[in-house]
A and B are shown apart, each in its own frame.
Chain A
Amino acid sequence: MIFEIIKLAIESLKANKLRTFLSMLGIIIGVGAVIAIVSIGSGAREQITARISNLGSNVINILPGTSRGWGGRVSASSVDVFTLELADYIEKVSPSVKRVIPISQGSGLLIKGNFNIQTTIIGTDADYQEINNYNLAMGQFINEGDLDTSRNIIVLGSELTEELFGNDNPLGEKIKLSYQKRDYLFTVIGVMEEKGAGLTGNLNKQAYIPITTFMKKLSNSRFVSYYMAQAKSGDEASAAVGEIEYFLIKYLEDEDQEKFNLQSQDQILDTISSVTASLSLMLGGIAAISLLVGGIGIMNIMLVSVTERTREIGIRKALGAKNKNIMSQFLIEALSLSGMGGLIGIFFGWLGAYAIAQAGKWPLVVAPISVLLAFGFALIIGLFFGLYPAMKAAKMDPVDALRYE
């Protein structure tokens, strides 16, 4: 019986192909949009997550807080509290922390012959490489000896090397660094390998010098820009954050955490996920509205269909169809409409997601749950909006229906 009714529904839908297609269009667009949007959202999130992990594992940035401005005073000046000694101190007192490295950074001009290039100069120590998962392409990185003697040596990012030296071997070459209107001569001792873009910008265009050189010669300051801490493992990352926070509050007598600011990878991930999630939710909501509109389209066409086929309903009733037979006939017709629309929508949504993933160069992620959800929602819409027309058909008086011209 049910098989018979489904066959009947499909036959009647086939009899009016254009109309069937047009009434399915809303559902097709809705389901397609849901699948494409959810997939694009997860693809983008996956890409961002991969980029963040690229920054190094279990890294916690310890940034100085910015003091609030009074009246007309500029508020941007960072609080000067971060010394080299404090970095070692944090490392010692926090059991979950593997190491803490100081970072000073500023913008400088690298000059080689007639070429010059504006770049970010990073002053750091020997552990920078390991904390950031960042390997050398050639030469060597800053070592303890360089730090002790504050040597004028420099390690270049891959893109910098290419622009300054082309295909020549840069190792041992001298280049000029112009920093805050003063010039220094540096010897190139290493080149970093190429690394994908991180959140802080293009790593391949940065240059690295010993932190001691940076502080004594470039910045003339006792304070560094910020610290990078590394937890002993991913599981201990949140414990490490807690320990550092506890220590710094005590040490800096800074109950309100105005002098420092901790930024862990988890935190960044959380922020980004919540942003992408709310974005997906919003776009998904728009897609859901289009599904709803599609449902109204189905209801409209089903009402027309019921009126058109009043006589058929009369004939069927005269031949012994019960109300529920008529009801299920029209309900299944509405369900077939939304179901087929759903299937076509899944196909096009998938196709759209694939095309955009290709264009955005991120992985194609189509979660089965989103496909099921969109299809299920389409069916529910069909059921909901098909119910009223089907009930209208079922309740028709057989005598009136037979008389209908």
Chain B
Amino acid sequence: MLEIKKIKKIYQMGKVKVEALRGVSFYIDKGEFVAIMGPSGSGKSTLMHIIGCLDQPTEGSFIIGGKDVSKLNDDRLAEIRNKRIGFVFQQFNLLSRTSILHNVEIPLIYAGLKTKQRRELAKQALESVGLGDRAKHKPNEISGGEKQRAAIARALVNDPLIILADEPTGNLDTKTGEEIMKIFYKLHQQGNTVIMVTHEAEVARHARRIIHLRDGLIEKDEVKT
């Protein structure tokens, strides 16, 4: 369902070329719960940006849902992000000026849905993460855990192929982090594909498969049984 083939990513930093990814290949099946781990500088952020279609590889191909997206233009990539990928960020990345409900609606706005339909889907998504009663609140009126749950609702609302989480518990205390991980686990059990980038083994342990990155290469790909 998601296939990474010999991906390289080279950045030009002034006169120096930096190889963030030096030929990474793996395959992730539908319904898997994968953690991508590695120390900082291992290339995991770069890999996440490529999987999230925010960036494109210098070399190699990336196929998602049977479609090679490594050569698409900006607008086509935006469509893929909109329809196939649900992002969850470390800093929540909710828009502070508008309500939680509106935040969850944003992907649907860009998908071109009508107001009524949007509102309904967004409410459903919020209820599925237990935030039905916070719909009218602004992000600064709710707790960190609730913000992250709202972000998960926003990631889910377009019914994406993969949920891509970048250090989703990085800004939360341990207890709240556990709660968020439980939500991811539940989503996995419901058949969703979850890919999580983290540097904490404690967080990664919730995943069924851990891909270890080091210096732009896969060091270890362990599958729990």
Q: Give A residues with C-beta under 8 Å from B.
A: 1, 4, 11-12, 15, 311-312, 314-325, 398-399, 402
A4 to B110 alpha-carbon distance, docked (Å): 10
Q: Residues of A contacting B89 with CB < 8 Å?
A: 402
Question: What is the CB-to-nearest-CB distance from A16 to chain B, in angstroms, rounded to a whole number?
Answer: 10
16 A–B contact pairs at CB < 8 A? A1-B109, A12-B97, A312-B95, A315-B93, A317-B78, A317-B81, A318-B52, A318-B81, A318-B87, A320-B79, A320-B83, A321-B110, A322-B78, A322-B110, A399-B49, A399-B55
Q: Residues of B contacting A321 with CB < 8 Å?
A: 78, 82, 110
Supposing A320-B81, A320-B82 touch, asked if A402 and B54 sit within 8 A by C-beta, the answer is yes
Given contacts A324-B75, A398-B55, 11 further A-B contacts (CB under 8 A): A1-B109, A4-B109, A312-B95, A314-B93, A316-B106, A318-B54, A320-B82, A320-B83, A322-B74, A322-B79, A399-B55
Interchain CB contact under 8 A, A1 and B78: no
Indicate with 1 or 0, residue by residue over B88-131, a CB within 8 angstroms of chain A CB atoms: 01000101011000000011011110010000000000000000
A323 to B78 alpha-carbon distance, docked (Å): 8
Q: Residues of A contacting B158 with CB < 8 Å?
A: 320
Q: Give B residues with C-beta under 8 Å from A.
A: 49, 52, 54-55, 74-75, 78-79, 81-83, 87, 89, 93, 95, 97-98, 106-107, 109-112, 115, 154, 158
A316 to B81 alpha-carbon distance, docked (Å): 10
Q: Residues of B contacting A402 with CB < 8 Å?
A: 54, 89, 93
Among candidates B78, B93, B95, B98, residue contacting A320 with C-beta atoms closer than 8 Å = B78
Say whether chain B's binding surface is mostly helix, strand, loop, or mixed.
helix
A11 to B103 alpha-carbon distance, docked (Å): 14
Say whether chain A's binding surface is mostly helix, strand, loop, or mixed.
helix
Q: Residues of B contacting A398 with CB < 8 Å?
A: 54-55
- Name the CB-closest residue of B to A325: B110
Interchain CB contact under 8 A, A323 and B74: yes
- Name the CB-closest residue of A to B48: A399
Q: Residues of B contacting A317 with CB < 8 Å?
A: 54, 78, 81
Supposing A317-B78, A398-B54 touch, asked if A11 and B106 sit within 8 A by C-beta, the answer is no
A1 to B108 alpha-carbon distance, docked (Å): 11
Q: Residues of A contacting B78 with CB < 8 Å?
A: 317, 320-323
Among candidates B75, B97, B115, B154, residue contacting A319 with C-beta atoms closer than 8 Å = B154
Q: Residues of A contacting B98 with CB < 8 Å?
A: 11
Interchain CB contact under 8 A, A11 and B97: yes
Q: Residues of B contacting A1 with CB < 8 Å?
A: 109, 112
Interchain CB contact under 8 A, B107 and A319: yes
Question: What is the CB-to-nearest-CB distance from A316 to chain B, in angstroms, rounded to a whole number?
Answer: 7
- Name the CB-closest residue of A to B112: A1
Q: Residues of B contacting A319 with CB < 8 Å?
A: 81-82, 87, 106-107, 110, 154
Closest 4 A/B residue pairs (Cβ): A320-B82, A320-B110, A322-B78, A398-B54
- Name the CB-closest residue of B to A395: B74
